[in-house]
């Protein structure tokens, strides 16, 4: 099939033949990031004999490494832990030949082919690139937060929940992530209070009902954190503000978990591919970005669904698109 039928606006002139690569280490396909999108892209690229190399990042596995239970991924009728699922996906892709290095990409140069990728000062070259860097948790940015990051205030209940056994904690947010965090934290905390700035919740009905029906979960609406309170022993509470009239109250807690959303991990791509105002990569044709030969999949693109199963599907698409694009460079 002619590549112009698949990517009619790709701009494929002056593409170097396969194998004519420069740099200290050259590959047909480099995958930046991991998670369901990255590992699925790696699986398909490896099965296509593209000898893919993945830079998975220092926290390989993506956001599912912070998820306690995955109940909506097909094939797991009893559910599965997020970290366990990521281990399975990685092992499956590696079995077919994916090479994984747990390192972060510092910068890229997509101005010419083969593309340049720098990792810890070392340069790599690749004929095609698949970006699956996902998104990272947002913080509130209020007074006292920096001093207590990782010392009472967290964005990962799975990571840090056990530190707050028999203590009172709060969860900030109104989406599925906040409901899941709060429900999970009841395993350890004596009381969990969900703090949300509006009356309505973005969470799905099943996740919301599961949280509000729990006897150890309370909810405070029309409240937002203005500042954090502490003493010599650490976090002691928060000042909550009513956004409607500015009135304030204090809530006691020794732990807090922020679950207000994520931002795409695309800072290292600035000026290299087209992104929207929020920093999410924009597809131009199928999974191809504004640069021919550079593809993107998963939460680094998807602002709507943000599901493991959709990320995995998009990773499959990106690998197949990359394979077809490479075939047509001869």
Mean pLDDT value across the chain: 91
Tell me which CATH code domain 3-136+262-327 carries.
Answer: 3.50.50.60
Q: Catalytic residue among 132, 160, 299, 316, which?
A: 160
Tell me which CATH code domain 139-258 carries.
Answer: 3.50.50.60
The question of whether 2 is a catalytic residue gets the answer no
The question of whether 253 is a catalytic residue gets the answer no
Q: Do domains 3-136+262-327 and 139-258 have the same CATH topology?
A: yes
3-state helix, strand, coil in the chain (%, to 5): 30, 25, 45
pLDDT of residue 38: 98
Render pLDDT for 250-264 as a digit per residue (tens, 0 to 9): 999 999 999 998 899
Q: Where are the domains of the chain?
A: 3-136+262-327, 139-258
Render pLDDT for 152-194 as a digit per residue (tens, 0 to 9): 999 888 778 989 999 999 999 999 989 999 999 999 999 999 9
Q: Catalytic residue among 51, 109, 159, 276, which?
A: 159
Lowest-confidence region among 32-41, 59-68, 91-100: 59-68
What CA–CA distance (Å, rounded) separates 146 from 210? Answer: 32
Q: 54 near 42, Cβ under 8 Å?
A: yes
pLDDT of residue 4: 37
Q: 289 near 283, Cβ under 8 Å?
A: yes
The question of whether 156 is a catalytic residue gets the answer yes
What is the residue-wise DSSP string for 11-61? Answer: --TTPPPTT---SSSEEEEEEE--HHHHHHHHHHHHHTT---EEE--TTTT
SS3 of residue 263 by DSSP: strand
> Is the link from the previous residue into 114 a cis peptide, with omega within 30 of 0?
yes
Q: Which residues of 149-172 are buried (b: 16+ CB within 10 A; e: fewer)?
A: eeebbbbbbbebbeebeeebbbbb
What CA–CA distance (Å, rounded) separates 28 from 49? Answer: 10
The residues pairing with 237 across neighbouring beta strands, listed in sequence order, are 229, 252
């Amino acid at each position: 099939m002619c590549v112009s039928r698949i990517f009619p606006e790709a701009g494929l002139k002056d593409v170097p033949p396969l194998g004519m690569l420069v740099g200290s280490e050259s590959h047909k396909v480099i995958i930046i990031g991991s998670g369901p999108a990255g590992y699925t892209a790696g699986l398909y690229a490896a099965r296509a004999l593209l000898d893919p190399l993945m830079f998975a990042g220092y926290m390989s596995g993506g956001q599912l490494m912070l998820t306690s239970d995955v109940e909506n991924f097909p094939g797991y009728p009893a559910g599965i832990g997020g970290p366990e699922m990521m281990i399975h996906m990685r092992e499956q892709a590696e079995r077919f030949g994916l090479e994984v290095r747990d390192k972060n990409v510092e910068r890229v140069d997509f101005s010419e082919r083969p593309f340049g990728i720098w990792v810890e000062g070392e340069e790599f070259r690749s004929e095609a690139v698949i970006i699956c860097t996902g998104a990272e948790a947002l913080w509130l940015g209020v007074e006292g937060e920096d001093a207590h990051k990782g010392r009472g205030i967290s964005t990962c209940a799975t990571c840090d929940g056990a530190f707050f056994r028999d203590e009172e904690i709060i969860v900030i947010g109104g989406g599925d992530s906040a409901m899941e965090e709060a429900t999970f934290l009841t395993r350890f905390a004596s009381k969990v209070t969900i703090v949300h700035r509006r009356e309505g919740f973005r969470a799905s009905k099943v996740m919301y009902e599961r949280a509000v029906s729990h006897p150890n979960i309370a909810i405070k609406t029309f409240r937002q954190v203005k500042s954090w309170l502490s003493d010599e022993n650490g976090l002691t509470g928060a000042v909550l503000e009513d956004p409607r009239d500015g009135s304030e109250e204090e809530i006691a807690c020794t732990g807090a978990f922020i679950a207000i959303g994520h931002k795409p991990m695309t800072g290292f791509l600035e000026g290299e591919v087209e992104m929207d105002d929020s920093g999410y990569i924009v597809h131009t044709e199928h999974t191809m970005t504004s640069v021919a030969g550079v593809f993107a999949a998963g939460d680094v693109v998807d602002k709507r669904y943000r599901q493991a199963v959709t990320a995995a599907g998009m990773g499959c698409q990106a690998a197949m698109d990359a394979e077809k694009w490479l075939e047509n460079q001869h």
